[in-house]
Amino acid sequence: MAGSIDKVVLITGASSGIGEATARELASAGARLFIGARRGARLKALAEELGETVAWRELDVTDAADVEAFVTAADARFGRVDVLVNNAGVMPLSPLAALKRDEWKRMIDVNIHGVLNGIAAVLPRFVAQQRGHVVNVASVAAHMVMPTAAVYCGTKHAVRAITEGLRQEHDEIRATLISPGVVATDLGHDITDPDVAAALTGWRKKSLTPDAIARAVRYALEQPEGVDINEVIVRPVAADM
Ligand SMILES: NC(=O)c1ccc[n+]([C@@H]2O[C@H](COP(=O)([O-])OP(=O)(O)OC[C@H]3O[C@@H](n4cnc5c(N)ncnc54)[C@H](OP(=O)(O)O)[C@@H]3O)[C@@H](O)[C@H]2O)c1
């Protein structure tokens, strides 16, 4: 079904994992893409591979001005902005008693403020153009809580609440929450607790590949204007979590 998405789509965290797979999937569906993350070299290589309908810019989602500039640059490149996929996220898990305040703050900054910065950067233009679509990548951690993941789950619960609030406040905007189960990506590479890192390796024994999540994003984008896919949970078959 090539060419089914005639939209300009912005994707944060597109330098690896789910964001990269989403860029590949949406590019194959005909979308024009503006992709961002901190690792510019990876974005450049991906954009060159996917062709001239994909442009990139280095982006730190924790910096509100940088997110504004990212959206402005996308508009300058393609002349419009239709969809924002807030995908960037980090997951340095640890028990609360380890008191890893810096890691808590990083999760809150990237996973919550990053999403809010994205919403703030597109909301005025979506309201003005009376249409737009925000896709937030949350997690099954938006639906459950488990030891070592208290703060991460807190951030993803917040993303779920914010997405639902956006939906309720704006009739003209589509709001979608995509909640993956375990996916084999680099997420958690920055876990500093060795026991938790070992547990993550165990969880990943039953995992999806990122293209499974990319297809869920595509499904939400391909719906007619009057259809709002509010939430999709995608787990491996027989998932433990
Ligand atoms: N993998 C899973 O099992 C799983 C399950 C549920 C939900 N998720 C969610 O899926 C999303 C994508 O994660 P992933 O699994 O694909 O992991 P990943 O491969 O580590 O990708 C995370 C992406 O976020 C970007 N990022 C991190 N901090 C950033 C910042 N300050 N500014 C801009 N970009 C930043 C990274 O790019 P740079 O480092 O280049 O900036 C990278 O592209 C996350 O929101 C994650 O919570 C993943």
Domains and their CATH numbers in the chain:
8-232 (3.40.50.720)
pLDDT tens sequence across 72-119:
999 999 999 999 999 999 999 999 999 999 999 999 999 999 999 999
Residue 241: which pLDDT band, with cuts at 50, 70 and 90?
A: confident
* Nearest partner of 13 among 178, 150, 132, judged by Cα: 178
Q: How far is the CA of 206 from the centre of ligand 1 (A)?
A: 19
pLDDT tens sequence across 9-53:
999 999 999 999 999 999 999 999 999 999 999 999 999 999 999
For β-strands 231-234 and 32-37, DSSP reports them as unpaired
Annotated active-site residue 152? The verdict is yes
* Nearest partner of 18 among 168, 164, 201, 210, judged by Cα: 210
pLDDT at 178: 98
Q: Is the CB of 86 under 6 A from ligand 1?
A: no
pLDDT at 3: 72
Buried (b) or exposed (e) across 171-208, using 16+ Cβ within 10 A? eebbbbbbbbbbbebebbeebebeebbebbeeeeebbb
Q: Which atom of ligand 1 is nearest to the CA of 62?
A: 31
Q: Is the CB of 37 under 6 A from ligand 1?
A: yes
Dihedrals φ, ψ of 178, to 5°?
-110, 120
Catalytic residue among 71, 152, 155, 166: 152
Q: Is the CB of 23 under 6 A from ligand 1?
A: no
Q: Residue 1: pLDDT above 60?
A: no
Q: How far is the CA of 187 from the centre of ligand 1 (A)?
A: 6
Q: Which atom of ligand 1 is nearest to the CA of 59?
A: 33
In angstroms, the CA 85 to CA 43 distance is 16
Q: Is the CB of 236 under 6 A from ligand 1?
A: no
pLDDT tens sequence across 121-179:
999 999 999 999 999 999 999 999 999 999 999 999 999 999 999 999 999 999 999 99
* Nearest residue by C-alpha to atom 41 in ligand 1: 38
| CB neighbour list of residue 162: distance below 8 Å, 6 or more residues apart | 112, 115, 116, 119, 136
pLDDT tens sequence across 201-211:
999 999 999 99
Q: Is the CB of 180 under 6 A from ligand 1?
A: yes
Residue 221: which pLDDT band, with cuts at 50, 70 and 90?
A: very high
| From 11, 18, 157, mutation site for ligand 1 pocket: most ligand atoms within 8 A of C-beta | 18
Q: How far is the CA of 231 from the centre of ligand 1 (A)?
A: 19
Q: Residue 2: pLDDT above 60?
A: no
E strand or H helix at 35, and its extent?
Answer: strand 32-37
Alpha-helix residue ranges (DSSP H) falling in the chain: 17-28, 40-50, 64-78, 101-107, 114-129, 150-169, 194-203, 211-221
